[in-house]
A and B are shown apart, each in its own frame.
Chain A
């Protein structure tokens, strides 16, 4: 299995072999983080542009570290403090950046489809670092890498994805990837936060937290955006946290003893996760962050490491 795509836009379009290759490559690169000298020359002379139209410290930093450890030149371009703030259209900004001949553009944007749009317009490789409520493939990959390390395999595992599934690109990427790898996925949350017809993606739906987390291998809690209350989707944070917040009591009553608790971060402590759970023995939230760098190294390497190449 070899990587042949120009871009990484969605998990939906990947086949299981491609997902495995991305995970394996990331796993191979994890050791770099343990070195004294955390730098390999693989992407020397390559330019990676982080084009971030949404505030994101962790994802941008993760890509930045990944690029730098691979010796790429990493340039950060965020919407504030750039021409994007002066009313230049996304497309114009993108074309301007494209004219500077980057090898990879990592894009984060609040509009679904923004990464695909960029991929059509630019000849360089595009990595989708989150487009609206659509997809966030590198987050799914780091989740998979974390699960693989802890569980050793994917096939047959069961996962509950809990919370604001409707607005979550993390949920969408994970649903596609996990289904392709033979995992069973249940999405759970109040009905107003479950997207319409989501069963057609091959997932189960649960409206009760206890049912959703019972005996699953992995519980993935999603971040609740505070603006969901203004939209009338939930009555209050208090009520949400009472019925959908994961506490130690609920965990010990329902969950397997070897369950993994994941969260894409940043965590609303006391809302979707109680502090004891977030910091507890089941939590692999910091592992996810560590694995994020390896995943992004793997993605950048596969996209930029062989550009312009033909099999020799």
Chain B
């Protein structure tokens, strides 16, 4: 059941009691069967057998796992300008269906979110049509052109929680250095899609024996590593908070580890697809396994899994990149980069990482809650008293087959279609209101 989502933020915060679930909150190291009480859209109390206030909804979550609402800090909502791929309304519904209660949306809309009016527009859309919370990420440079800084202070004031040119990395190191310096006072990270555009030029997949066999133009892991190294050095120079988006190589992990050991303020995220898929999948030439950065090798996925478990990787983000079918069918090397991820991330990760024991459930939840909340200074990601009444409730025993035709996203470009998985979201609560519930 999907609620009419416009009600979520138009209405006052809801009052609701979640009874009998296993409550898992990494922010307070809590893992116990308890009730959760949300009053007026904020966490009020956790404990056994809490009395329900008058007018409160009561949810029986026996056998379910109750977590702080998941936050996806890397999403493309495509609005304004590319509404045929996704909108704030459809993208946030997809988020709710995937267990996410908040998303950060990238700046590569049309026009680009490089000025306050676009940020205001996105936030207004989110208030009136959004199913979950929306935190815009502003552009680093005007028009994502890598030539002149965007009006970063005003973007921060308007509500942008980070700055990124995402898929169009700033090749001019001097300009990027200035961006890092200029944003220092805002407490918002600069987010790097780390890719040297010259090294990656023309690349449609990861360079290696598979690309050699397939004859596809390829970009080496070095295209990412070189840029991660450069950005780490710039962060070291400026003291800025650098966040590496969708880290995908063993080499980049090593660089981040070394930088952290030196005290550089660098954080990073990983996508579900980079954790569970490799370049072997490209053998089908299915454009739904084409993304940037590309799927890497088994050696890389192993390194990513290890780094996710040990905390080198702070958070999981989907890089939800909706594309219309016309952009994602046909010749592999001509297809658009990117896949949708909001509605597949949690089921895929529960099935492929948590069930086999690669990652504990509590670590997974931490990477989806405290990880992004802390590095972006967001209010959510915790069930501490007074925090937003956002919950992601999981059914880890639920068996489901991923069916892209039933996505709430406007787009269907996923490599996970047809996968049978165990575990997934069961109910999503935002601001004390149920915004999505499994059928």
Do A and B contact each other directly (Cβ–Cβ < 8 Å)?
yes
Query: Given known contacts A12-B213, A169-B215, is B333 in contact with A117 (CB within 8 Å)?
Result: no
- B216-233 vs A, CB cutoff 8 Å, 1 = contact: the mask equals 111010000000000000
Bound complex: CA of A182 vs CA of B155, how far in Å? 65
Which of A54-62, A98-106, A193-201, A214-222 has 4 or more CB atoms under 8 Å from chain B? A193-201
Bound complex: CA of A197 vs CA of B221, how far in Å? 14
Q: CB within 8 A of A113: which of B208, B214, B218, B220?
A: B214
B109 CB–A CB distance under 8 Å: no
Identity of the chain B residue whose Cβ is nearest the Cβ of A199 in the assembled complex: B209
Decide: B220 and A132 in contact? CB cutoff 8 A: no
- Minimal beta-carbon separation of A202 from chain B (angstroms): 11
Decide: B209 and A114 in contact? CB cutoff 8 A: no
Interface range on chain B: under 10, 10 to 19, 20 to 34, or 35 or more? Answer: 20 to 34
Query: Given known contacts A132-B216, A134-B216, A196-B220, is B211 in contact with A114 (CB within 8 Å)?
Result: no
Q: CB within 8 A of B332: which of A91, A112, A198, A200?
A: A112
- Minimal beta-carbon separation of A167 from chain B (angstroms): 8
Bound complex: CA of A29 vs CA of B363, how far in Å? 66
- Complex contacts, B326 vs chain A, CB 8 Å: 89
Query: Given known contacts A90-B331, A112-B333, is B215 in contact with A172 (CB within 8 Å)?
Result: yes
Bound complex: CA of A198 vs CA of B284, how far in Å? 20
- Complex contacts, A201 vs chain B, CB 8 Å: 209, 212-213
Decide: A111 and B214 in contact? CB cutoff 8 A: no
- Complex contacts, A131 vs chain B, CB 8 Å: 215
Most buried by A among B207, B211, B218, B331: B331
Decide: B215 and A134 in contact? CB cutoff 8 A: yes
Query: Given known contacts A117-B331, A135-B215, is B209 in contact with A197 (CB within 8 Å)?
Result: yes
Q: CB within 8 A of B207: which of A112, A135, A196?
A: A196
B186 CB–A CB distance under 8 Å: no
Decide: A111 and B331 in contact? CB cutoff 8 A: yes
Bound complex: CA of A114 vs CA of B331, how far in Å? 6
A positions within 8 Å CB-CB of B: 12, 89-91, 109, 111-114, 116-117, 131-135, 169, 172, 195-198, 200-201
Q: Supply 19 A–B pairs (Cβ within 8 Å), ascending by A.
A: A89-B326, A109-B331, A111-B331, A113-B214, A113-B285, A113-B333, A117-B332, A131-B215, A132-B333, A133-B216, A133-B217, A134-B214, A134-B215, A172-B213, A196-B209, A197-B209, A198-B212, A201-B209, A201-B212
B positions within 8 Å CB-CB of A: 207-209, 211-218, 220, 284-285, 326, 329-334
Q: A117-B285, A135-B215 are in contact. List 4 more A-B contacts (CB 8 A).
A: A113-B285, A113-B332, A133-B217, A195-B212
